[in-house]
Chains A and B, each alone.
Chain A
């Protein structure tokens, strides 16, 4: 957290910039360039904190979440992900509590020769004519390959913390849960990125 803000704060403002700016202001300014720089950098840090903490997961999450149950057959899970063009889907119980999450990575992890976990490994296997690598999983269900427990966030998690979590855990999405663990939305890398590119009208 602190490290990231420090990175943002590395504003390249020189004492000369400040001195020149002070010359642009008419009248005598009762502050040294050094003190001004200190105040400026601290103010910048406060602004970064305010902006990064003010946007919460709930502000950017997708509320209509496609989800599956733990007994949903993998055929159906794969079909759903393909139809909806999504790369991951949360697995929830009847009450809406998040049990786990299935992503493309989970499929890849079980399809290759042991350690295969990239798409190109699977392509290579197919090109070698070894048949459908997913075949052994035809009869399996969501619970058999899902990552559990899923990494989740709450409505109030600042979006910058969500982004850090994505990067730290190497994941691309996280279900947003309420206090009872019931899923109320999902936030993806795209959601986090969209916020950082366009700070929206706030």
Chain B
């Protein structure tokens, strides 16, 4: 296929989901983010630590909205966040004097490592980026960033996903663990 012809696309968009599915996705993600936010306000506000980072909004899309997706499975959710966090902190540590390079290297390397470890989880890219652009508070965490917020936050989303997604008849989670 020629270069420009490829840009036309070849197939159509997958079917839309039922209203029930829409409602379940809404409710699941509402609960998941609520739990993380409550834990944040109970145990982390006023400390040097954070639990809530932006990439969890993206994870919620997958683990409550695209439950069957390989990208939404526990291996990807936990592995993607933790590995990307390590990469992000590493990239910031090495390239902190060159913010452009640090940001690009963090995201690109995170994707490569997630691919190589079969843990591809799109929000991981955000987790890696936040390690670089997240400001003083995030920078001061150092590699602890990979445990809190990345690891613990992802684990909370996972627990809620397991509890919530297995209640409705038409849903189950996960498809696989590792």
Contacts and interface: CB of A to CB of B under 8 A. Distances in A.
B65 A32 contact: no
B17 interface: yes
B46 interface: no
Contacts of A28: 14, 17, 21, 25, 65-69
Interface string B17-39: 11011000100000000000000
Contact of A30 (B11, B13, B70): B70
Contact of B12 (A19, A23, A29, A30): A19
Interface string A33-55: 11101000000000000000000
B135 interface: no
Interface in A155-189: none
B145 to A, nearest CB: 28
Nearest to A19: B15
Given A32-B13, A34-B11, A26 B67 contact: no
A13 B170 CA distance: 26
B2 interface: no
Contacts of B114: none
Contacts of B72: 30
Contact of A15 (B12, B65, B68): B12
B50 interface: no
B10 A34 contact: yes
B71 interface: yes
Interface residues of A, number: 15
B137 interface: no
A27 B21 contact: yes
Contacts of B71: 30
Contacts of A35: 11
A26 B66 CA distance: 11
B15 A15 contact: no
A30 B68 contact: yes
A51 B87 CA distance: 46
B115 interface: no
A31 interface: yes
Contacts of A15: 11-12
A22 interface: yes
A27 B11 contact: no
A38 to B, nearest CB: 9
Interface in A89-143: none
B24 to A, nearest CB: 9
Interface of B: 10-15, 17-18, 20-21, 25, 65-72, 170-171
Across the A-B interface, give the 9 residue pairs with the lowest CB-CB distance, nearest first: A34-B11, A30-B69, A26-B170, A23-B15, A28-B66, A32-B11, A30-B66, A28-B17, A22-B15
Given A19-B15, A30-B72, A34-B12, 9 more contacts: A22-B15, A27-B170, A28-B17, A28-B68, A29-B14, A29-B68, A30-B66, A32-B11, A34-B10
Interface of A: 15, 19, 22-23, 26-35, 37
